[in-house]
Structure 1
Amino acid sequence: MPLITLNDVDYGVGGPLLLQSVAMTIERGERVALIGRNGAGKSTLMRLIAGELKPDDGEIRFEQGVRIARLEQEVPAGAGGSVFDVVAEGLGEAGAALAEYHHLLQAGDYDALADVQARVEALDGWRIEQRVTEVLERLQLDGDAVFSSLSGGMKRRVLLARAVVSAPDILLLDEPTNHLDIAAIDWLEGFLKQWAGAIVFVTHDRRFLRALATRIVEIDRGQLTSWPGDWANYVRRREERLNAEAQEQARFDKMLAQEEAWIRQGIKARRTRDEGRVRRLEAMRLERAARRDLTGNVRMAAAQANASGKKVVELKDVSFGFGERRLIDNFSTTIFRGDRIGLIGANGTGKTTLLKLLLGELAPQRGEVRSGTQLQIAYFDQYRATLREDWNALENVAEGQDFVEINGARKHVIGYLQDFLFTPERARAPITRLSGGERNRLLLAKLFAQPSNLLVMDEPTNDLDVETLELLEELLADYPGTLLLVSHDRDFLDNVVTSTLVMEGDGHVGEYIGGYQDWLRQRPAPGVAGTTAAAAPSPAPVAPAIPAPVAEPTAPRRKLSYKDQRELDQLPALIESLETRVAEMTAEMNDAAFYQRDAAAITAHGAALQKAQEALNAAYLRWTELDA
């Protein structure tokens, strides 16, 4: 018997139904991937399955006693306390009593302990405590760690533990790879493959989908279609279906045009017209009006500047670190015009730092960085700080102009934004109303309207659907300038870059020809000096090694005043705090619920994020000045 059955389910939020006459079952042990365009209704379907939403029509039947848990797309804003507390929340009342017992025990409040202990025993809490401990050990989590102090990837792992601790029959995962680096994504794949229950997940990571899915369910214009879990077969059969649909629609439209021409004939023809034919025409008009056309694809073209010099940037014996953290040690490389380079590494290993060194935004503590000539840089910022919250989409791209010029072709800004799937109404709407996917498309539109010969992209794939990802891949593959790309999307790296720089730990940066798969073949064997598991796939999480201190330069150093030395000692903690704040505020903006706030609150949040990013940049620069 299926764990859950959906029969003729309808759900809408105004306008055409988001889900229409949906029929679906989920069986034990299945791993179902939900795919579809941004806004197609994937998250809505998961919330219906979880019981958080009720259908407008139709029926959802659950097997008796079925347990369902959901991992949300973003880290909840209110989550706090210790890791043990957050995980125990997944067990309801018993988990809350158990967490309270642990707090009282640590505080030594033995007077209140007896009452809580009695509640724990009544709720079978000691068996539950063992389950929490087993999950923490399995996911290699420290129960005493403070949740708010963890990285984004570790927070996602804790929330996964909270979802699985109740041993649900159905596990719902909405973008589970968000904020995870490549090693964590590989670990998650292995963990979920061993999961005994059913899994329903949404992801735009094609390699993750291929590795995990036993079935693919597509949501397209409110309708569900089910396919075997073979991505290549799905792509081929979907293309065949769309071609057949297009041919059938063309045949229908031709017949409708003929009937419309007939009904408009002169008085003589109308005297003898067939009333049955008239009724058929009316039915055809209704059928055409009810048709939901396929969502169009983004049309991208990047404005190109004059060619840069042959040598784009050169690094000679460059080193950089924070306190005792050595991020880059004695690294030399030369990037030439036309190179497409991917940056790979675990979170916190220094990818953004290396990017800032390459762009001249950070000065090396040792060594030399030489920039090439005639560089025009366009920068895609994963934090979207270049978008002004007090402007709408049109103003963010136009910046006071009515037209943009793309490679000699002059185009009105409204028409240009329509290429990125913004209707005129949506282009004029406040940016505070845009979803995360729309903001990413807007940032791409703004980026590609700017002439460039050096394109820098930091995590550009977030919130983009598969169709847009594939079009972006094509554009970047044909881009005549130089590309620097930071991404955790392994397929995207393989399809775009020609070489990779890998943060391998202890300050070592490895250079490899090709993309992610090529690096896997070329990398040194585990245990070879200068490499670490931090960036490599691993069946279990590996704690990052503590980098060795940055070596002191041989040149004499000016002795700092007491005040400056104290400031220098405090800067690493400040930088870490600001990085955490920027990441948390960005994650909050990526949550769809964020845009339900009033415009003033959204604008204030965007201004605060920009201020935090500016403070982080200033802290970086101050560190460089004092450490020099």
Structure 2
Amino acid sequence: MAAPILAFEGLGLVQGSGWLFRNLDIHIGPRDRLALIGRNGAGKTTLLKLLGGSIEGDEGRRTIVPGTRVVILEQEPDLRGFATLRDYVMGGDDAPVSYEADSIADQLGIDLSREAASASGGERRRAAIVRALAQDPDVLLLDEPTNHLDIGAIEWIEDWLKRFRGAFVVISHDRTFLTRLTKQTLWLDRGAIRRAEVGFGGFEAWTEQVYAEEQRQAEKLEARLKLEEHWLLRGVTGRRKRNQGRLTKLHEMRAERASMVGPQGSANLVTGSDDTKSKVVIDAKNVTKAYGDRTIIGDLTLRVTRGDRIGIVGRNGAGKSTLLKLLTGEIQPDSGSIKLAQTLDAVVIDQQRSLMAPEKTVREVVVDGGEWIDVLGVRKHIHGYLKEFLFDPNMVDAKIGSLSGGERSRLLLAREFAKPSNLLVLDEPTNDLDLETLDLLQEVIGDYDGTVLIVSHDRDFLDRTVTITLGLDGSGTVDVVAGGYEDWEKRRATQTSGKRASKKVAATAPPAPAPRAKLTYKDQRDYELLPKRIEALDAQIASDAAKLAAPNLYMRDNATFARLTAAIEAARAEKEAAELRWLELAEQVGE
């Protein structure tokens, strides 16, 4: 292993009334490609700033090889005081060489003469990338570099980093980006740092080993972690296993939906009975929308049925927002028609934080200052509901201003997902979310009974959630592909320019099912009976939760309150174990 060019020994930092982390030892070699992983609020961004020297730790020693240039790409570039994006890029003592900046700006497609005050999030991000890369760094510290970027820009920066001769440390929620680029991993977890000489592709397997070893050590010492301390770890490992089962279900849904997607103009776009047609929630026929001389959406015909998960992808400016507004009835087409089901009740989560006033508390945002929240007909206490969204229940009275950007996004999801709806509209939902929250978001979407429309540049997220992808190329063409981003990418690679005249392409037929695996008698019985047991546990939990919601029960009958609470916890634990057992058996059957 090469000698490090940047290192920290015994790093510690106080935040608030305690240590954010302490006794961290970090070293960065001259060609390291490091993924920095950790939950929102763990201190990842702060750690990057410490490594970059923009803030100082409360203890520890930072060493750096003389002449090493360390550059930080911050998550939110500060453009205050700059008239144009060029002024920002070329400002300061560490300004890059002008021609290098112009070359990178040209490749990224950013006009540096744009006024800084009116620049969009994507333009600000591109300007920050130009400034960072043009400085010719030896160590590049990247904080969510793909935020606000479209697919083309993400692929460009991936190619640049593959050719980069220095070292980089990257924080990102984009699994595809991390998997393609990183070769080592730093895991910031519960105030400690771990390093593995594997890229992000091996991260989940590594963490499973760490958690398993911690569990063995706790059992050896006969001092198992308390439930309140261990719920997150159990939730993470359990969620990953459940999501494997959801992926199996998703592939089945894609195969079913593939048979419903036919050539543009076909009268039989959705096959099946009248019952299938009654499930149509959005019916678009020969829809065209133009601005000036430019056609944004051209002659699109599409039926969206109840339960569909629709992903919308394309470069910035290709028309994704226009298509989303057309499908939700916010704007009308120039020609053609769009009919929405009369019962459609939408919740739109667009990452706007108007609800997130810094002076408000978590309790005020989620339950308007109360104790209980109704979630899809089930009444839940705020403490339990916050745990479902990976918050420590003790944060219930924390100020919004004290939360990280990712925690605020997660809190917004918790509030909005509690509202009754049959249509979810998610506009770039993955920005600022950590990987564990993305797992949670995938789980919520997978369990959602209604229809979901997702605009996202997160390729892995789309591959794990959507049944149909609508791909826009900016010419007005909308490719309709059964599957996720990877399926659309394969379609793009095989399409010729002549074939692209067709707006809708028949989806690939699903592969023939694999032969069913042999199960033991007990396995077969569990596979058949566990779904009924899970339904019974759901009913029991709902019944006990309804009793627990009785007014002033805690004050009137504390013993009953405690009994019901314990019963709900036990039923949920049994349900989780049953789900995991059934999913393991389902995987055997699938194999």
Q: TM (normalized to structure 2)?
A: 0.71
Residue correspondence of structure 1 range 204-243 to structure 2 within 5 A: 204-243=173-212
Deviates more, 1:395-404 or 1:497-506: 395-404
What residue number does 1:168 align with? Answer: 137
* Structure 1 vs Structure 2 CA RMSD: 3.1
Q: Is the 8 A contact 1:90 1:162 kept in 2?
A: no
* Matched length: 461
Give 1:449 shift: 1.4
What residue number does 1:39 align with? Answer: 41
Find out whether 1:405 has 2:374 as its counterpart.
Answer: yes
Find out whether 1:363 has 2:332 as its counterpart.
Answer: yes
Q: 1:142 to 1:315 in 2, by over 3 A?
A: closer
Q: 1:450 to 1:237 in 2, by over 3 A?
A: same
Give 1:214 shift: 1.7
| Equivalent of residue 511 in structure 1, options 471, 476, 480 | 480
Paired with 2:418 and 2:84, the residues of 1 have a C-alpha distance of 46
What residue number does 1:70 align with? Answer: 72
| Equivalent of residue 478 in structure 1, options 428, 447, 472 | 447
What residue number does 2:219 align with? Answer: 250
Q: Is the 8 A contact 1:342 1:501 kept in 2?
A: yes
Give 1:57 shift: 1.8
The letter for the 2-side match of 1:173 is L
Find out whether 1:498 has 2:449 as its counterpart.
Answer: no
Paired with 1:27 and 1:343, the residues of 2 have a C-alpha distance of 39
Larger radius of gyration: 1
The letter for the 2-side match of 1:392 is T
Q: 1:35 to 1:332 in 2, by over 3 A?
A: same
Give 1:435 shift: 2.8
The letter for the 1-side match of 2:284 is L
Paired with 1:215 and 1:343, the residues of 2 have a C-alpha distance of 32
Q: 1:294 to 1:76 in 2, by over 3 A?
A: farther
- Give the percent of matched residue pairs that are identical in Structure 1 and Structure 2: 40
Paired with 2:45 and 2:430, the residues of 1 have a C-alpha distance of 18
Paired with 2:59 and 2:424, the residues of 1 have a C-alpha distance of 49
Q: Is the 8 A contact 1:405 1:411 kept in 2?
A: yes
What residue number does 1:329 align with? Answer: 298
Give 1:383 shift: 1.6
Paired with 1:215 and 1:197, the residues of 2 have a C-alpha distance of 14
Give 1:129 shift: 4.5
What residue number does 2:246 align with? Answer: none
Q: Is the 8 A contact 2:357 2:401 kept in 1?
A: no
Q: Is the 8 A contact 1:91 1:165 kept in 2?
A: no
Paired with 2:496 and 2:116, the residues of 1 have a C-alpha distance of 31
Paired with 2:211 and 2:187, the residues of 1 have a C-alpha distance of 13
Paired with 1:435 and 1:477, the residues of 2 have a C-alpha distance of 26
Long gaps (5+) in structure 2: 243-275, 503-591
Paired with 1:405 and 1:130, the residues of 2 have a C-alpha distance of 58
Q: Deviations over 1:15-36 (max 9, x none)?
A: 4422221112111122111111
Find out whether 1:310 has 2:310 as its counterpart.
Answer: no
Q: Is the 8 A contact 1:404 1:410 kept in 2?
A: yes
| Equivalent of residue 18 in structure 1, options 20, 23, 26 | 20
Q: TM (normalized to structure 1)?
A: 0.67
Give 1:384 shift: 3.5
Q: Deviations over 1:147-173 (max 9, x none)?
A: 455443233222222123332211111
Paired with 1:420 and 1:333, the residues of 2 have a C-alpha distance of 34
Deviates more, 1:485-494 or 1:446-455: 446-455
Paired with 1:449 and 1:143, the residues of 2 have a C-alpha distance of 42
Q: 1:11 to 1:254 in 2, by over 3 A?
A: closer
The letter for the 2-side match of 1:240 is Q
Paired with 2:91 and 2:501, the residues of 1 have a C-alpha distance of 38
Name the SS for the 1:494 alignment partner.
Answer: helix
Paired with 1:246 and 1:503, the residues of 2 have a C-alpha distance of 48
Find out whether 1:431 has 2:433 as its counterpart.
Answer: no
Q: Deviations over 1:280-314 (max 9, x none)?
A: xxxxxxxx99x98685558999xxxxx99511110
The letter for the 2-side match of 1:239 is E
What residue number does 1:614 align with? Answer: none
Give 1:143 shift: 5.1
What residue number does 2:554 align with? Answer: none
Q: 1:460 to 1:143 in 2, by over 3 A?
A: closer
What residue number does 1:264 align with? Answer: none
What residue number does 1:7 align with? Answer: 9
Paired with 2:201 and 2:102, the residues of 1 have a C-alpha distance of 40
Give 1:368 shift: 1.4
Give 1:217 shift: 0.8
Q: 1:378 to 1:87 in 2, by over 3 A?
A: closer
Name the SS for the 1:89 alignment partner.
Answer: coil
Paired with 1:390 and 1:63, the residues of 2 have a C-alpha distance of 44
Q: Deviations over 1:113-147 (max 9, x none)?
A: xxxxxxxxxxxxxxx45555555556565554544
Paired with 2:357 and 2:21, the residues of 1 have a C-alpha distance of 34
Q: 1:196 to 1:79 in 2, by over 3 A?
A: farther
Name the SS for the 2:24 alignment partner.
Answer: strand
